[in-house]
Amino acid sequence: MSEPTTAGTPEHPVDSGFTFQSLEDFVSGYIAPVIQRRINRSTAMWCPSWWMHPEAVARFSVLWRAFEYLKLDAAIGLSTWWIHHADPHIRALMHPDLGPFVLCDAREGHSDRNLPPLPVELAPPGFWSNPVFTVQPPEPDDGENTDAENRDADETDAENGGEEGHGSSESAVRG
């Protein structure tokens, strides 16, 4: 893989099997020519220096990855991409009041004025230790079955006609 340039794109194309070899290729080679809008302050905004907007880079990055993945589904992949990915992201990016390009102008270019980041307050100590906020399942206590073990036992019971203790000495006694 080659070293990235200051724009974050490889100096030499990387053979990845992708249709577009960089985010910049995707935006300039697909998004810009295909998405044609009347750009004005009341309907849609755009910044020719889109890459100077972190939100635009983040949204176009996920659009590019989704495009490269979904294009492999010849039946409905790109329709899914348009409806569930491109349309909402493009609407958010180009929104004339709420999008990241609101201070820019398609003809005059990028504005040096910046929108402030969202204000953030850190949570109090211990707030995130609640199990509700963890990605990892909790460790089972000694002697207790995990949810997966309980599901396996339930499935085994169902496969055996719902008899409790099927295969145990109890069923042999009833037998």
Phi, psi of 14 (to 5 degrees): -105, 130
pLDDT at 109: 85
**Using one digit for the tens of pLDDT, what is the confidence trace for 6-28?**
445 555 455 568 999 999 999 99
Give the domain range for residue 78: 23-94
pLDDT at residue 3 greater than cutoff 50: no
As for how many domains the chain has, the answer is 1
Average of per-residue pLDDT across 52-64 = 97
- Measured from the Cβ of residue 18, the count of other Cβ atoms closer than 10 Å reads 17
Please report whether residue 156 resides in a domain.
no
Please report whether residue 135 resides in a domain.
no
Please report whether residue 133 resides in a domain.
no
Do residues 46 and 94 lie in contact, with contact meaning Cβ atoms separated by under 8 Å? yes
Q: DSSP alpha helices (H): ranges in 38-146?
A: 54-70, 77-81, 87-94
Residue with more model confidence, 114 or 74: 74
Please report whether residue 41 resides in a domain.
yes
Please report whether residue 84 resides in a domain.
yes
Average of per-residue pLDDT across 41-61 = 94
Look at the chain and count its residues. Answer: 175
Residue with more model confidence, 167 or 96: 96
